[in-house]
Amino acid sequence: MSLRRHFGTFLVAAACTLASMSASAHAILTDSTPKLNGTLVAGHVDMMFKYNSKIDQHRSRIVLVKADKSETVLSIAANGSKPNELDTSADLTPGNYTIRWQALALDGHITRGDVPFTVVAKQ
Ligand SMILES: [Cu+2]
C-alpha cells in the first residue's frame, strides 16, 4: 500500500519533469534590474525583468515585498516593443526588499521567482 502510494508520487514527479523539459517556451529570467542580491539607490526606481521568451504582460505579476513582509502589487507598464520584459517602477526608501515575480509565458505556463535586493541612501 505504502509502496504503491510512493510509486504514484514518483510518476507525477516524472511527468512534471518531462513537461518542463519539453516546454521550451517557459519564461526564465535572464536579466533584471535590480540584479539578484543587487543594490539600487533610493528614490524613484525603474525596474526591469527580462525573460528568455515572450510573456503575457497583462497577466503576469510583480509584487514588492518589504522587510516587514508587507506586499505591494506593482503595475506593469505595457511595453509592446519589448514583449519579453516586465517593466515597473516604485518609490523606494533605503532597506531590504524582494521582488516576487510571476510570469505567464505564451505556452500558458507560469513561472515564479524572487529577486532580493537592497536599497541604499543617495550619497
Ligand atoms: Cu511551458
Task: Return the domain boundaries, the chain.
Answer: 25-120
Check whether 27 has a pLDDT greater than 90: yes
CA 74/CA 62 separation, integer angstroms: 6
Please state the rounded mean pLDDT for residues 25-29.
90
From the CA of 59, how far away is ligand 1's center (Å)?
15
What residues does 96 pair with on adjacent strands? 118
123 pLDDT band (50/70/90 cuts)?
Answer: confident
Please give all residues whose CB falls under 5 A of ion ligand 1, grouped by chain where several chains appear.
23, 26, 107, 109
3-state secondary structure of 35: coil
For ligand 1, the distance from its centroid to the CA atom of residue 44, given in whole angstroms, is 34
Ligand 1 centre and the CA of 66: distance in Å? 30
What's the CA gap between 104 and 120, in Å, rounded?
31
Q: Specify whether domain 25-120 bears CATH 2.60.120.10.
A: no
